[in-house]
């Protein structure tokens, strides 16, 4: 089986990679890079393509999916952070703690 062959992956893994890839493309990542990252994520979560045989499966870790979900859209904008930093500096200067 040549490198890059996806035949050993399940349909679910292929769908998952496609969905992850679309998410990266929506965020402006190039098509080849999005595909590379998507398959890397699938491999990390499920341990690569599934092999046949009883007892050869492992539980999937969804840590990377959770991390991506938590990181997206959270936090403050750079202008909010700058304003908070300026306010803190003014307070420290005024109180003589600078």
Q: 34 exposed, middle or buried (CB, 10 Å; 0-12, 13-18, 19+)?
A: buried
* Angle, CA 82 vertex, CA 79 and CA 83 arms, to 5°: 85
The DSSP-derived string for 13-31 is: HHHHHHHHHHHHHHTT--H
What are the boundaries of each domain within the chain? 8-48
Please give the model's pTM, rounded to 2 decimal places.
Answer: 0.60
The pLDDT score that the predictor gives to residue 2 is 77
Residue 60 neighbours by CB under 8 Å, 6+ apart: 45, 46, 47
d(CA 14, CA 4): 13
Q: By the 8 A CB rule, do 38 and 24 touch?
A: yes
Give residue-wise pLDDT tens across range 22-74: 999 999 999 999 999 999 999 988 888 876 666 677 778 888 777 766 666 66
């Amino acid at each position: 089986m040549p490198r890059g062959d996806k035949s050993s992956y399940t349909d679910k893994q292929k769908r998952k990679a496609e969905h992850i890839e679309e998410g990266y493309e929506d965020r402006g990542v190039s098509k080849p890079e999005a595909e590379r990252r998507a398959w890397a994520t699938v491999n990390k979560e499920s341990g690569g393509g599934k092999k046949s045989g009883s007892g050869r499966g492992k539980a999937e870790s969804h840590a990377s999916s959770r991390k991506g979900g938590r990181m997206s859209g959270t936090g403050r904008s750079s202008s909010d952070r700058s304003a908070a930093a300026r306010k803190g500096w003014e307070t420290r200067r005024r109180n003589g703690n600078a």
